[in-house]
Structure 1
Amino acid sequence: MDEQTVELSYARGEDSPPLLTEPIGATLARTTESFPDNLALVDAPTDRTWTYREFRADVLALAAGLLRLGVGKGDRVGLWAPNRPEWVVTQYATAEIGAILVNLNPAYRQNELDYALTQSGTSVVLAAKRYKDSDYKGMLDAARPSAPELREVICFETPAWQELVAQPSNDELSAVAERAATLEPHDPINIQYTSGTTGFPKGATLTHSNISNNGYLVGELLAYTDADRIAIPVPFYHCFGMVMGNLAATSHGAAMVIPSPTFDPEAALRAVAEYRCTSLYGVPTMFIAELALLDHSEPGQFDLSSLRTGIMAGSPCPEHVMRQVVDRMHMGEVSICYGMTETSPVSCQTRVDDPLELRVGTVGRVGPHLEIKVVDPISGETLPRGETGEFCTRGYSVMSGYWNEPVKTAEALDADGWMHTGDLAVMDAGSGASGSNVTDAGSGAGYVRITGRIKDMVIRGGENIYPREIEEFLYTHPDILDAQVIGVPDERYGEELMAWIQLRDGVADLTADDVREFATGKIARHKIPRYVHVVKEFPMTVTGKVRKVAMREESVDLLGLS
């Protein structure tokens, strides 16, 4: 089929602005030269601040310390901590000398830690001693027998850490510069372990070019300048925090603001108010928590008038939540981003001037310098616009592969360089084929709707049912705060629908009969959930994504279906 004459689900992004063609350290150096006295980093819990000059000095000091430890180009350096200033400094210090940063999930338990350290061949770990009920130092000591390449563990706020970040000599700074001069944009710089739903997680291997450009271009589409201050309550260990947050900031001379080590709605809103942040990040559940806090706060307790924009990502956003974020939190230019770790992460993004209906109903359009398409999951053929299929993307953002996993890499990346995401999507009808202009807003510009995961699709009596559609309907119930729909085994239909529901404050209960009565005549009968389970919270990953696999497993036991 001719993509020029047949309206296929394919779109290519703009060719501007130009891609960055330098390592991350070079970008930070340019920003520091341009904005030496701009605010670079804020740690709200301690009220400590860094200018770009001060921040880069700390980065170079740690880079010199890592060279003293014998860290070579391509060596893996693990980082295990919640959000704190040392995390950000380490991110840029490892990039400065070409070490590969291994992001360790703060929620890891012993088996997960052992696997990540061993699979990546990590030789040095920088870590917090502990956080909440996690004894990081103790678990790292216990990991040594199963991680033979691990030779050095240094915890923050210890004499060893102070020695590591001590003021470097001129010769040591020269050694850092010499190492930096050997780096190439396509060198691997980061391993991020995907949250595995089956088996062990896979280590997506990302380059300077992957993540530096993704952060830069996300910031461009948010119209960031050196006057912006970005509140980042999302985890640094994930792309949302370290790429869309940190790298977007440092490529524009903007400030990174850490509200708290892990998400706390009051800390996030307080940081916005105290530091006059212009941008706030979060997954939908975070914004829901912040809005609930505003409901119970004194008028004017949190002055959010400085906010202009922000990012909502990680999972689909309920329409009513987006509208409240715009109206009540002053985020008139809030953007929806869609992507995955393997694509650095953003593939699609709404623009700040997109009409609100497109920002609540879609994940926007293809990003600059990228291609996207929607294909038949079985045949691989590109589908006509308006049909549901698998979302695929190609371009600068696609990972180099899964670390030491050639078979799994080949399963995700095809021979033509397309990343097969496993997500179900629909591309709006209209122009967007190769060579077309996808910058004009409107339904014909290739806006994408993510309808779910291929593995989350429920097949009931031969009918394909997309949980996202039912969740959106359930949001219209006055007593429902949030809803997640899954499929559970059923002898007659193969699968049956079950809704996990969070209720609004003051609502005592909601039964399956109540939901059935509300839904009858409004949605097709086969889309009405048979089972309803009321919960206080959903099982979540540390990045705020709902763990539907865990929900299905628990539901099978709950319903006695095992």
Structure 2
Amino acid sequence: LLEKPIGECFRRVVSASHDRIAIHSGTRHITYGELHAQSDAFALGLIELGIRAGDRVGLSLGNGIEYAIAYACFKLGAILTPLNPGYLPGQVIHALNHITARCFITSTEIKLPHKDPRLTSELLQEIATSSDPSTLSTTVPSLQHLLLIDNSAGRVDATTLPVTADYEALILAHGSQRLPPQDQLGVEDLANLQFTSGTTSAPKAVCLTHRNILNNAYLVGQGMELTAGDVVCCPPPLHHCFGLVLGLLTAMVHEATLLLPSPSFDARATLQSIAEHNATVLYGVPTMFLMELDLMSQGQVPKLPATTFFRLSALRHLRTGIIGGSPIAPSLRLRLHQHMNLSGLTNCYGLTEASPIVCMTGVLDCLDKRLTSVGQVLPHTAIRIADRNTPTRTLPRGDHQRGELQISGYAVMAGYWNAPEETARTLLVDEEEVDPQTQQKRIWLRTGDEATMGVDGTIRITGRIKDIIIRGGENIYPGEIEDALLTHPQVANVGVVGLADATYGEVPAAFVVLRVETPPEELRAWVRQKCPAAMVPKHVFAVDRLPLTASGKLEKYKLRE
């Protein structure tokens, strides 16, 4: 394990790769040396504003070079707290109050998927409410500074907005200065408060240390065999643990180049960026990959020829990457192998509370293993399958022993911010076993995910325990129905949930995004050919799109509503 804070690791990378491009973003790029200088300057600017180690800095931005702010916070010891750019003003204010933020940084425009840019002027007006010059905000009393990045290309007069400092001005004011090493920072200090996606409940702020996220980034990069010559294309949002840790930090710790195709996910921009910059690594959740494949099949990407042979030639540099974030249909995995040259794509399983990756397949694992599992646990992490009803009881290994996946080791979060009861429900103290890393009682993280562990240690995720449908006393796993429907030629995407039923208590219901209008009975018949009768959806609803989080995860609770 890397036993050093992120800022110290970053300085080592800069000394080795000073002139290497660190980030490509649209038409812009920045080298590691430039990124080091800018993040130092911004950290000094934050110090000038009174921000100190341990202070929470809220951040609401799309993907871009400006995420160098993250390194400024890591170097300074401030706790970076990215917020979902899709949050409405009330949600932003709630989040900032929850973490008692001292500083909030945003841009003049927020670019969201499939939508016109949204101005942040309303949000800023709702935050900067105080008429007292000594107080910035009555809605967020802890807040002392509002910082703005003007990304509007002249569409907005930023001088009219109620902010206390400008991002570029702070960097220019300290551009020639260097931040001294912050020797007081330790690996167990908090680096990041990460709001969970909230696919099943209200978001919680997960406390992650320098040790948590730096080592997860390092080990995942090792699993993909990353080198300084790799170009890592990262469409997932940097405000999410996937993008922040596996994108920003994994690329950095392995001295690779990070490619950010667009401020928010855009399938066309992603594919064009891969071809233009000869990307070797591609990240995404299943929904993103499905959109990219659909766009390619329609021949709508100028840099990618319509025929498979020439398209694969344009994508010839791709070799590996990560697919994760939600269950992966084997049919999708095969399509990515055949149509995007991703023969070494790794399946990953993780969650924010584990920094985030726990298990992954290897780039050389056989196709069957990559189609049916999430591989094996990463080094320095322990896992077990526990009885769903008695979470302290470990089940024996075996492909038919389904139970709750639990995790222990360096990657487990420090807890939920200001939520001791929720933390106690999620972290189990093992009274009988000592953690060899800490020499203290082992802590087990309850994931809420059901899984099996084979005799060789291979992990298969069978679903969210909360998502399991109990039909007349029989357990039905939504992922199996979703896998079957995704093989239908007219189904672009699908989500299956359980709905109340007077006879069976609960029955499966499928929400399908269709390429061409298809009768519900045809879809039921399709499932009937591939699954037991009890798994045939009683209800089939055609929808224009599925409700997704900003990171592309399906919000199943909204389907139930």
Unaligned runs of 5+ in 1: 1-18, 431-443, 554-562
Q: Secondary structure at the match of 2:500?
A: strand
Cα distance 1:32–1:448, how it changes in 2: closer, same or farther (>3 A)?
same
- 2:86 aligned residue: 107
- 1:43 aligned residue: 25
Paired residue for 2:410, among 381, 392, 396? Answer: 396
TM-score by length of 1: 0.88
Paired residue for 1:527, among 518, 532, 535? Answer: 535
Which of the pair has the greater relative contact order for Cα pairs under 8 Å at 6+ separation?
1
Distance between the aligned counterparts of 2:526 and 2:298, measured in 1? Answer: 28
Distance between the aligned counterparts of 2:36 and 2:364, measured in 1? Answer: 34
- 1:433 aligned residue: none
Aligned residue type for 2:180? A
- 1:126 aligned residue: 105
Q: Secondary structure at the match of 1:501?
A: strand
Distance between the aligned counterparts of 1:413 and 1:120, measured in 2? Answer: 21
- 1:441 aligned residue: none
Distance between the aligned counterparts of 2:229 and 2:324, measured in 1? Answer: 23
Compute the displacement of 1:123 (Å). Answer: 0.8
- 1:139 aligned residue: 123
Paired residue for 1:204, among 183, 203, 206? Answer: 206
Compute the displacement of 1:464 (Å). Answer: 1.1
Compute the displacement of 1:543 (Å). Answer: 0.6
Compute the displacement of 1:317 (Å). Answer: 1.4
More displaced stretch, 467-476 vs 393-402: 467-476
Compute the displacement of 1:370 (Å). Answer: 0.2
Q: Secondary structure at the match of 1:205?
A: strand
Identity rate, percent: 39
What are the within-5 Å matches in structure 2 for residues 170-181 of structure 1?
A: 173=178, 176-178=179-181, 180-181=182-183
Compute the displacement of 1:169 (Å). Answer: 7.1
Write the deviation string for residues 279-313 of structure 1: whole angstroms up to 9, x where unpaired: 11111111111111111224347821111111111
Tell me, yes or no, if the aligned pair for 1:265 and 1:290 is still in contact at 8 Å.
Answer: yes
Q: Secondary structure at the match of 2:517?
A: coil
Compute the displacement of 1:204 (Å). Answer: 0.1
- 1:425 aligned residue: 451
Cα distance 1:520–1:127, how it changes in 2: closer, same or farther (>3 A)?
closer
Task: Give RMSD over aligned pairs.
Answer: 1.6
Q: Secondary structure at the match of 2:109?
A: coil
Aligned residue type for 1:391? L
TM-score by length of 2: 0.88
Aligned residue type for 1:105? N
Cα distance 1:458–1:64, how it changes in 2: closer, same or farther (>3 A)?
same
Q: Secondary structure at the match of 1:481?
A: strand
Cα distance 1:401–1:264, how it changes in 2: closer, same or farther (>3 A)?
same
Distance between the aligned counterparts of 1:522 and 1:182, measured in 2? Answer: 60
Compute the displacement of 1:473 (Å). Answer: 2.1
Compute the displacement of 1:85 (Å). Answer: 0.9
Tell me, yes or no, if the aligned pair for 2:383 and 2:408 is still in contact at 8 Å.
Answer: yes
Paired residue for 2:168, among 145, 162, 171? Answer: 162
Distance between the aligned counterparts of 1:29 and 1:213, measured in 2? Answer: 16
Write the deviation string for residues 367-404 of structure 1: whole angstroms up to 9, x where unpaired: 01000111112112111222111111011111101011
- 2:522 aligned residue: 514
- 1:27 aligned residue: 9
Aligned residue type for 2:418? N
Distance between the aligned counterparts of 1:108 and 1:235, measured in 2? Answer: 14
Compute the displacement of 1:197 (Å). Answer: 4.8
Compute the displacement of 1:133 (Å). Answer: 4.9
Distance between the aligned counterparts of 2:246 and 2:384, measured in 1? Answer: 23
Query: Is it true that 1:480 corresponds to 2:499 in the alignment?
Result: no
Compute the displacement of 1:184 (Å). Answer: 0.3
Query: Is it true that 1:183 corresponds to 2:189 in the alignment?
Result: no
- 2:264 aligned residue: 262
Paired residue for 2:423, among 405, 409, 416? Answer: 409
Q: Secondary structure at the match of 1:477?
A: coil
Name the count of aligned residue pairs.
Answer: 510
Paired residue for 2:77, among 90, 93, 98? Answer: 98
Tell me, yes or no, if the aligned pair for 1:391 and 1:421 is still in contact at 8 Å.
Answer: yes
Compute the displacement of 1:145 (Å). Answer: 2.2
More displaced stretch, 57-66 vs 139-148: 139-148
Cα distance 1:329–1:169, how it changes in 2: closer, same or farther (>3 A)?
closer
More displaced stretch, 472-481 vs 54-63: 472-481
Write the deviation string for residues 53-106 of structure 1: whole angstroms up to 9, x where unpaired: 11111111111111111111100001111111112x011110000000111101
Compute the displacement of 1:479 (Å). Answer: 2.9
- 1:353 aligned residue: 364
Compute the displacement of 1:134 (Å). Answer: 3.1
Compute the displacement of 1:198 (Å). Answer: 5.9
Cα distance 1:197–1:226, how it changes in 2: closer, same or farther (>3 A)?
closer
Aligned residue type for 1:322? R
Paired residue for 2:286, among 264, 273, 284? Answer: 284
Q: Secondary structure at the match of 2:429?
A: coil
Write the deviation string for residues 391-434 of structure 1: whole angstroms up to 9, x where unpaired: 11011111101011111110100113110010111112x2xxxx
Compute the displacement of 1:476 (Å). Answer: 3.0
Q: Secondary structure at the match of 2:534?
A: helix
Aligned residue type for 1:510? P
Tell me, yes or no, if the aligned pair for 1:128 and 1:137 is still in contact at 8 Å.
Answer: no
Aligned residue type for 1:186? E
- 1:545 aligned residue: 553
Q: Secondary structure at the match of 2:385?
A: strand
Q: Secondary structure at the match of 2:498?
A: strand
Compute the displacement of 1:520 (Å). Answer: 3.5
What are the within-5 Å matches in structure 2 for residues 331-370 of structure 1?
A: 331-370=342-381
Query: Is it true that 1:79 corresponds to 2:90 in the alignment?
Result: no
Distance between the aligned counterparts of 2:529 and 2:268, measured in 1? Answer: 41
Compute the displacement of 1:195 (Å). Answer: 2.5
Distance between the aligned counterparts of 2:409 and 2:28, measured in 1? Answer: 39
Tell me, yes or no, if the aligned pair for 2:30 and 2:65 is still in contact at 8 Å.
Answer: no
Tell me, yes or no, if the aligned pair for 1:188 and 1:206 is still in contact at 8 Å.
Answer: yes
Cα distance 1:528–1:196, how it changes in 2: closer, same or farther (>3 A)?
same
Cα distance 1:208–1:466, how it changes in 2: closer, same or farther (>3 A)?
same
User: As a proportion of its length, which structure holds more strand?
Assistant: 2
Compute the displacement of 1:477 (Å). Answer: 2.8
Aligned residue type for 2:533? R
Compute the displacement of 1:470 (Å). Answer: 1.6
Compute the displacement of 1:167 (Å). Answer: 4.9
Q: Secondary structure at the match of 2:255?
A: coil
Aligned residue type for 1:112? Q
Tell me, yes or no, if the aligned pair for 1:137 and 1:155 is still in contact at 8 Å.
Answer: no
Distance between the aligned counterparts of 1:211 and 1:366, measured in 2? Answer: 16
- 1:148 aligned residue: 141
- 1:3 aligned residue: none
Cα distance 1:337–1:520, how it changes in 2: closer, same or farther (>3 A)?
closer
- 1:6 aligned residue: none
Q: Secondary structure at the match of 1:419?
A: strand
More displaced stretch, 513-522 vs 312-321: 513-522
Write the deviation string for residues 267-290 of structure 1: whole angstroms up to 9, x where unpaired: 001111111111111111111111
Tell me, yes or no, if the aligned pair for 1:338 and 1:346 is still in contact at 8 Å.
Answer: yes
What are the within-5 Å matches in structure 2 for residues 188-337 of structure 1?
A: 188-197=190-199, 200-297=202-299, 298-299=305-306, 300=310, 303-337=314-348
Distance between the aligned counterparts of 2:199 and 2:555, measured in 1? Answer: 8
